[in-house]
Structures are given as structure tokens and as C-alpha cells.
Amino acid sequence: MASVLILGMGNVLKADDGMGVHAVRLLAEEPPRGADMLEIGTSLADCFFLLEGYDVVVALDAVHFGAEPGACCWLSRADLARAEGGLSLHECDLLDALDLANLRGRHPVLYVAGMEPVDVTGWSMELSAPVRRNMPAYLAMVRARIRRMTEET
């Protein structure tokens, strides 16, 4: 069984940028079995040592992947590497944290559960309507993948 860490990423003061934090808070109401959760916000540079204890890291984050607002995606580290210009505002910091963990001999596998945002720059603590509307489907996607990961032997 893989050890899994779920990271809620983003800035809750910047509208949909805080989608990952909102999502991990909702997941915490009924935590997925076999996974730990952490609301990391934007403090990624300091978290590399936390990643070292896990086989899999799942980042919940707003991701610009060219779909309709509220659309969900599941990305691997390879998908992030192939994307020109980056998909997430927090991608570089997360990859740097994983690289530091790798240097220390730990090699967690990274996945990003993303949702296409509407606004990540405006000052608001509210998620946009499309993101709010699609949050249940997003959480179902995350729960299903986490369940498969933690049940695999």
C-alpha cells in the first residue's frame, strides 16, 4: 500500500487560486482512508522535508490547461514537464521541493489534481461559480484516485 500525502495548494485570498486549499478542507470533512492531508497554501519552499516520508504526493491546485472553467484534470510530473510556460502558479515551487527530497534520497511520485480556474489574480476569498459548481465532481475524482492508490499493493 502506497503512503499518500494530499496537499491543498494556493492562496485563499486570490479567488480560484485558493481552490486547492478549499478542496482539502472539504476532503477533511470525510478524510480519504490511507492518506494524510496538509493545507500547504503557498508555503511550498519549506515543505520538502514533509514530502520525504511519502511514496505519492497529490497536489490539489488550480491549473491552466486550456479547458472550460471548472474542468478537472489529473496530471503527472511528466505532464508538467511537457507543458510550456507552466500550468500552475505553484508548480515550480512544488517541483523544487520534490527535487530537494530527491537529493536526500527520497523519490515521491507527484500527481496534480487540477481544476481550470476563472480568476487567480483578483482579491476575493470566494471561488468562482464554475469552480464551486464543479467541486463535487473534482472531489469525487480525487477520492477515486486516492482510493485506488491506497488499495494497490
Task: Report the mean per-residue pLDDT for the chain.
Answer: 85
% helix / strand / coil in the chain, to the nearest 5? Answer: 40, 20, 40
Integer Cα distance of 72 and 48 in angstroms: 26
- Do the strands 109-115 and 72-76 form a parallel or antiparallel pair, or are they unpaired? antiparallel
The model's pTM is: 0.87
Q: What is the pLDDT of residues 123-143, one digit of tens each?
A: 999 999 999 999 999 999 999
Q: What domains sit in the chain, N to C, each tagged with a CATH number?
A: 4-151 (3.40.50.1450)
